[in-house]
Amino acid sequence: AQRVTQPEKLLSVFKGAPVELKCNYSYSGSPELFWYVQYSRQRLQLLLRHISRESIKGFTADLNKGETSFHLKKPFAQEEDSAMYYCALSLSGNTGKLIFGQGTTLQVKP
Amino acid sequence: NAGVTQTPKFQVLKTGQSMTLQCAQDMNHEYMSWYRQDPGMGLRLIHYSVGAGITDQGEVPNGYNVSRSTTEDFPLRLLSAAPSQTSVYFCASSYGPGLADNEQFFGPGTRLTVL
Contact present, A32 and A92 (Cβ < 8 Å): yes
Which residue, A108, A88, A104, is CA-closest to A96? A88
For residue A41, give every residue at least 6 positions away whose Cβ sits within 8 Å of its Cβ, in sequence order, or none.
none
Q: Hey, is the C-beta of A94 within 8 angstroms of any chain B C-beta?
A: yes
Task: Provide DSSP, B45-96.
Answer: EEEEEEETTEEEE-S--TTEEE--SSSSB--EEESS--GGG-EEEEEEEE--
Interchain CB distance below 8 Å, B42 and A102: yes
Structure confidence at residue A54 as a pLDDT band (50, 70, 90): confident
pLDDT of the residue at A93: 61
The number of C-beta contacts closer than 8 angstroms across A and B is 62
Which among A9, A45, A94 has the least Cβ separation from residue B99? A94
Q: Hey, is the C-beta of A78 within 8 angstroms of any chain B C-beta?
A: no
pLDDT of the residue at A31: 83
pLDDT per position in chain B (115 positions), as tens? Answer: 789 999 999 999 999 999 999 999 999 999 999 999 998 889 999 999 989 999 999 999 999 999 999 999 999 999 999 999 999 999 999 987 655 567 889 999 999 999 9
For A13-39, write each residue's pLDDT tens digit.
Answer: 999 999 999 999 998 888 889 999 999
Contact present, A101 and B40 (Cβ < 8 Å): no
Best to test chain B binding among A35, A95, A104, A105 (most B CBs inside 10 Å): A95
- Strands (E) across chain A are located at 3-5, 10-14, 19-21, 24-26, 32-38, 44-49, 60-61, 72-74, 83-90, 98-100, 104-109
Structure confidence at residue A98 as a pLDDT band (50, 70, 90): confident
Which range, of A54-58, A101-105, B108-112, averages the lowest pLDDT?
A: A54-58
Closest chain A residue to B98 measured between Cα atoms?
A94
CA distance B96 to chain A (A): 7
Average pLDDT of every residue of chain A: 91
Closest chain A residue to B4 measured between Cα atoms?
A43
